Amino acid sequence: MARNPVTWLGSPTFPRAAAEALRDPQLRRNLRHATHTIRNKRANAVAELPDWERLRLAGEAIKNDVLFHLDTYLEKLEAAVTARGGVVHWARDAAEANAIVLRLTREAGAREVVKVKSMATAEIGLNEALEAAGVGVVETDLAELIVQLGHDRPSHILVPAIHRNRAEIREIFAREVPGAPPDLTDAPAALAEVAREHLRRKFLSATVAISGANFAVADTGSVVVLESEGNGRMCLTLPQTLITVMGLEKVLPTWRDLEVFLQLLPRSSTAERMNPYTSIWTGVTPGDGPQAFHLVLLDNGRTATLADPVGRAALRCIRCSACLNVCPVYERTGGAAYGSVYPGPIGAILTPLLAEAPEDKHVASLPYASSLCGACFEVCPVRIDIPSVLVHLRAEVVAAKGNRTPEAVGMAALAWIFGSSRRYEAAQKAGALARYLGHDGTISRLPWPGSKWTVSRDAPAPAKESFRAWWRRTRG
């Protein structure tokens, strides 16, 4: 099976990548400022709705209904889109999806396409595939543009350039955008103006646009895209041909179900009552917008994930990124350290599930990139119990590694000791000798693997007399 491009080839394991990222003071500052700001905003936006918890429960239930009847809803969606003049394609993996998009682009006679930001297209490496085939790709989302011009990688699901502050963005634009004013300041308004000028020509002349989709309604065939800047509307309205790549799991059963998600998503993602623009279209409307509409339904590991009774919860994700914004790990390491299109808490579970590569050391490290604090679960609008899925995936990593690794041997030994109070107490007595490694009950240096603790923390020495030894002595 071909490698799933959701992860970036050659990525180091998370601990190694994180160690490097942690040392970047500018990154640390940018991330802390951005995540702390959005956390408070989100909390306020959510507090405004007295029925927030009820909306979450409804969102979870609707998404479960979708997953448990996914084939039925996808067939309905296909019929509804087709009835309104759209064409539906099915793609088993990244390569197949890219081939479909490339063929459609060539059939439309385009040498260049404009793109709305789409996690699904990032996941399949669409830009690279198109460019390798000689088709130019213009990212029109401001953050994706920053990433593209900065020859960088996206580090956040919603705000891909979160790792950049305004000064760095100014520097990238000044260097890479032809026609950027020489006296360009780092005021966000000035930076936005540069993006506007640069992209306007592209919007007004593009013939093919590629987008993703936030939702697609099965009973009506309506496709939904939420955005802020207007680049989405530009791509979805002006070109003759529109190609939308959408993960299978994004389908919703009925029009009415949208009322839940149009409340959950804006408040969870950009922490607004509503994002500036939401576009909804069904097939083709004569005289209004693209006259050729193609919907590419993408599997790329989703059906395999669906087979996992615990892991399938990850498919409820609506890509809001609230979990990234509250995660104490993501806040410090940033997204690049995950080596995946999907970073943060959702990335730590979705990436291994989609990638299906248990022997890959990098992928295997992702479920451990968490202290299991649970802040993510608290904010997830569709109530994905991310800590539980992480622990479940850790069990799969351990099973794949087998029982001869040093860690497995150590864990087995410890379980054996814990397995009987007699063995346990004998170990406690023997361990008490470790007090000689330290001073006053504190050990400041331990041999490997204990050294990983004592690199930054003192360790307690085992007590002279354990609690149970005291109990036995004083209470018989």
Q: Is 309 in the site for other proteins (CB under 8 A)?
A: yes
Whether the Cβ atoms of residue 283 and residue 83 lie closer than 8 Å to each other = yes
For position 12 contacting other proteins by CB under 8 A, the verdict is no
The DSSP letter of residue 316 is G
Q: For residues 325-364, which are near other proteins according to CB under 8 A?
A: 328-329, 332-333
Under rule CB under 8 A, residue 29 binds other proteins: no
**Residue 395 bridge partners (DSSP):** none
Q: Does 444 bind other proteins (CB under 8 A)?
A: yes
Which one of 11, 127, 207, 220 is in contact with other proteins (CB under 8 A)?
220
Least distance (Å) between residue 299 CB and other proteins: 5
Q: Measured from the CB of residue 354, what is the shortest distance to other proteins in angstroms?
A: 14
- Kindly write out the interface string for residues 83-122 of this chain, putting x where it contacts other proteins by CB under 8 A and - elsewhere: -x----xxxx---x---x----------------------
The rounded distance, in Å, linking the Cα atoms of 334 and 343 is 8
Applying CB under 8 A, does 177 fall inside the site for other proteins?
A: no
Q: Which amino acid is at 391?
A: V
Residue 430 near other proteins by CB under 8 A: no
Min CB(395)–other proteins separation in Å: 5
Stretch that binds other proteins, among 127-135, 208-216, 340-348, 453-461 (CB under 8 A): 453-461
- Residue 274 sits in the site that holds other proteins (CB under 8 A): yes
Of the two residues 128 and 255, which places its CB atom closer to other proteins in the complex?
A: 255
For 196-254, the DSSP string reads HHHHHHHHHH-SEEEE--SEEETTTTEEEEEESSSHHHHHHHSSSEEEEEEEGGGEES-
Part of the chain binding other proteins (CB under 8 A), chosen from 126-134, 173-181, 355-363, 460-468 = 460-468
Q: Return the closest-CA partner of residue 125 out of 292, 249, 300.
A: 300
Q: Which of 77, 110, 246, 369 binds other proteins (CB under 8 A)?
A: 369
Q: How far apart are CB 162 and other proteins at their closest, in Å?
A: 7
C-alpha to C-alpha distances, 107 to 98, 99, 110, 207, nearest whole angstrom: 14, 12, 8, 12
Write the DSSP symbol of residue 28: H
What is the 3 state secondary structure string of 127-168? HHHHHHCCCEEEECCHHHHHHHHCCCCCCCCCCCCCCCCHHH
For other proteins, the binding residue among 43, 44, 47, 68 (CB under 8 A) is 68
Residues 6+ apart with CB under 8 A from 49: 55, 263, 267
What track of x and - describes contact with other proteins for positions 387 through 426 (by CB under 8 A)? ----x--xxxxxx--------x--xx-xx--xxxx--x--
If one counts every other C-beta atom within 10 angstroms of the C-beta of residue 333, the result is 27
Span interacting with other proteins, options 126-134, 340-348, 351-359, 444-452, rule CB under 8 A: 444-452
Report the residue from 109, 134, 181, 188 that binds other proteins according to the rule CB under 8 A: 188
Whether residue 449 is preceded by a cis peptide bond, meaning omega within 30 degrees of 0, is yes
Q: Which of 1, 2, 9, 189 binds other proteins (CB under 8 A)?
A: 189
Residue 295 half-sphere exposure toward CB, CA atoms < 13 A: 33
| Contact in structure between 229 and 141 (CB atoms under 8 Å) | yes
Binding string, residues 222-261; x marks residues near other proteins by CB under 8 A? x-----xxxx-xx--xx---------x------xxxxxx-
User: How far is Cα 413 from Cα 34, in angstroms, rounded to an integer?
Assistant: 45
